[in-house]
Amino acid sequence: MLAVLSPGQGAQKPGFLTQWLTLDGVLAQLDGWSALAGVDLVHLGTAADAEEIKDTARTQPLLTAAALVAAARLRLPEVCVVAGHSVGEIDAAAVAGVLAPENAVAFAGVRGREMAAACALEPTGMAAVLGGEEAEVLAAIAESGLYPANRNGTGQIVAAGAIDALDKLSAAPPAKARVIRLQVAGAFHTPYMAPAEQALGAAAGAIAPSDPAKILLSNADGAAVSSGTELLGRLVRQVTAPVRWDLVMAALARIGVSAVIELPPAGTLAGLVKRELKDTPGGIEIVTVNTPGDLDAARDLILRHGGAPSYEGVSA
């Protein structure tokens, strides 16, 4: 069984779309999507520096566009699993047929702008807590007045909230844990993003989603979502809710995923999956797609790992 995964904010690298522009139709596609997203995707993906593409308002539609450019050049099987981390869930929705690519890029543009605006309202941030006992880490996060914004797998929880609360956690980390501040604009996936959720709800009202044509796992709980309307609502609520990538990976294991393709800019999710699914019977094959040169390996993986899934334990 094949899974196709799409990364979230922080995976971007300067110039990571440059080689994709050599493919027929990509430049015109990105130009059209730029008008929908309200940003220059060609510039951001080729000439922009790291600081420019760190801007939430720019990064989010850029990531969605990059993933969809690559996905469009893969012939995915009718039966496969798709999922995305944070903003990557918008890409996954498009790959699964819930959103048209144009709607996905436009929605990511709204999400990026509104989350950036919410970040500007008060000083907040995020920090990765690496190691420690899970219960102790979660308790320390709560005691500091923070939220567990991302639970990415064993030994990796991201705390988010007010800057002074992050300072408190950094000064007194949980036992056997390290606290590493992240270079982000604010406290994503927490109640601080409530203004963005409201704006996204309004934007979602103009979209007519389709039901997923593939197995689409939700960030919220790892469940397979069968309704496009429900999934769109989850995308709206996601900006204030924790990303439970740990539960997504647990679902991948239950379904019996034997191969993973990570869409560009790839590497982050592949690393998490490799670590968490290391005991998969027969092993798990992973292809990271970062340039057009990676497409042949991805296509080969698709040919060898199509198959019927087990839905046990993943229904919404």
Residues with catalytic function: 86, 189
Whether the predicted pLDDT of 308 surpasses 80: no
* pLDDT score of 69: 97
Which class is domain 2-119+190-304? alpha beta
* pLDDT score of 316: 38
Please state, rounded to an integer, the average pLDDT across all residues of the chain: 94
Residues 6+ apart with CB under 8 A from 167: none
Q: CA torsion 225→228→229→233, rounded to 10°?
A: 60
Q: Which pTM was predicted? A: 0.93
Q: What is the pLDDT of residues 63-105, one digit of tens each?
A: 999 999 999 999 899 889 999 999 999 999 999 999 999 999 9
Architecture of the domain defined by 124-181: 2-Layer Sandwich (3.30)
Pairing of strands 124-131, 177-181: antiparallel
* pLDDT score of 306: 65
DSSP code at position 259: E
Asked, colleague to colleague, whether 2-119+190-304 and 124-181 share their fold, the answer is no
Whether the predicted pLDDT of 148 surpasses 70: yes
* pLDDT score of 226: 96
Domain boundaries, the chain: 2-119+190-304, 124-181
* pLDDT score of 283: 81
